[in-house]
Structure 1
Amino acid sequence: MHVDILLYDGFDELDAVGPYEVFQTAGAFGADCAARLVTLESTDSVTASHGLRVGVDGTLGNGDALETGPDVLLVPGGGWSDASKPGAGMEAERGEIPEAVAAHADRGGVVAGVCTGGMLLARAGVLDGRRAVTHASALDDLRATDAVVTEARFVDDGDVLTAGGVTSGLDLALHLVERECGVDAADRVAREIEYERRSDPAGK
């Protein structure tokens, strides 16, 4: 399983870095699992919502053995409520990330949203008629879309997965590792990072 985690200025640090560590740790333990931090346009680094500057590995869909794109495109949240500042709200207004999400889904890829990254999935239209969750602060906005809002830690609706706020991205990532690489792999990662899993998704 190859995961591209799509960064943008104003993303929440843990939304992206938490799942990244889960996927990379699974790969280090021998699972067929790897992750990259990517952007839509070439850049050396991105500034997250709390000021952390993060280097990136490349642009979405470009890289070794990625002719058809990653298996999973994961979109973090952050900064949804004020579209005048860098963050998910601004990216929703710009439209490029929702377009990339829709294109990935149209190719048959799995899409995942952590926190208000789920709102970017909603803007892409991939949550229409699908069970989904987002950060508690944006649930009313999600209810205003065609998603079927499910108040849960995370939701697995097959090729579309969403997680609530921030740390729930760890549960979503561990669930994906379990789903694609086996429960032993996911449990080993959870022990390594000393994290107590919440492993029952809504939507199944």
Structure 2
Amino acid sequence: MHVQIVLFDGFDPLDVVAPYEVLYAGGTASDGAVTVELVSAEGPRDVVSGTGGLMLRATGTLDPARSGLVLVPGASGRVGEPGEVPDTDAESASAWQQDEFIPVLLGRTLTTELPGLLKAAMDNPRITMAAVCGGSLVLATAGLIEGRNATTHHLGLDMLEATGVHAVHARVVDDGDLVTGAGVTSGLDLGLYLLEREIGPRVAHAVEELFAHERRGTTWRAHGQAPAAL
């Protein structure tokens, strides 16, 4: 399984590094069954995060034709009002600035080539789309997951619902070819769940032990009997 983790200006480093390390370790534990790379819509470049100007380097271009997994992180910056709609007008699409509001950073991705590449990836039956935290909002505001089950940071659940997504308050939500994680540290749990689902529980458990991290929270799936009102 090849994993493409997407970088964009203002991304949250923990949303990227946590699943990257988990999945990379899963590749080692599975004798290379998992490979991971950092990509961007623009191709190889240094991409500045929203946390203190920390940069990571994308080594390739997001390839929607390559089978495997595409993972979209959220953004790091100032917290806007819950439910705030991202500003995507021409003025907001100007130069990236440090400490901007997270909804603005997420909305700015809509002015790039990223939405088109993500749509092509989601149209590819050989790709599973994943997202951490505000990454779900990137997909949602691009109109790519309307009617689907997903989660995001708890402050963004109302905004997720406003885009026509069924927002689930859970640590990880598995909706088949769409798997999403909640707040930033859930990238660890999302990565471990993906290892268990795609490679197997023994590899996932080995990585869990290596990272000294016990998975927490609920993994929600639309399986089984629907609960009655409580």
- The answer, yes or no, to whether TM exceeds 0.5 is yes
Taking the TM superposition and a 5 Å limit, the aligned residue runs for 1:22-171 are 22-31=22-31, 32-50=33-51, 51-61=53-63, 68-79=65-76, 81=80, 83=87, 84=92, 87-92=105-110, 94=111, 96-108=113-125, 109-171=127-189
Amino acid in structure 2 at the alignment position of 1:74 = L
Instruction: Please state how far the C-alpha of 1:5 moved relative to its aligned partner.
Output: 0.3
Other-structure match for 2:226 = none
Q: Number of aligned pairs? A: 198
- Between the aligned partners of 1:17 and 1:167, the Cα distance in structure 2 is 10
Equivalent AA in structure 2 for residue 197 of structure 1: R
Following superposition, the deviation at residue 200 of structure 1 comes to: 4.3
Q: In the alignment, residue 105 of structure 1 is paired with which amino acid?
A: M
Q: Determine if the alignment matches structure 1 residue 201 to structure 2 residue 202.
A: no
| Distance in 1, Cα, partners of 2:166 & 2:122 | 18
2:14 matched residue in structure 1: 14
- 2:67 and 2:155 mapped to 1: Cα distance? 30
Query: What displacement does 1:199 show?
Result: 6.8
Runs (4 or more) in structure 1 with deviation over 6 Å come to: none
Instruction: Give yes or no for contact 2:171–2:217 (8 Å, CA) kept in 1.
Output: no
Unaligned regions of 5+ residues in structure 2, if any?
A: 81-85, 98-104, 223-230
Kept in 2, the 8 Å contact 1:102–1:125? The answer is: no
Task: Write the distance in 2 (CA, Å) between the matches of 1:105 and 1:115.
Answer: 18
1:199–1:57 Cα change, 3 Å: farther
Unaligned runs of 5+ in 1: 62-66
**SS in structure 1 opposite 2:39?**
strand
d(CA) in 1 for partners of 2:30, 2:168:
34
Residue identity opposite 1:99 in structure 2: G
Q: Secondary structure at the match of 1:104?
A: helix
Question: What is the TM-score with the length of structure 1 in the denominator?
Answer: 0.90
Once the two structures are superposed, residues 133-163 of structure 1 have per-residue CA deviations (whole angstroms, 9 ceiling, x without a partner) of: 1111211111101111110111000000111
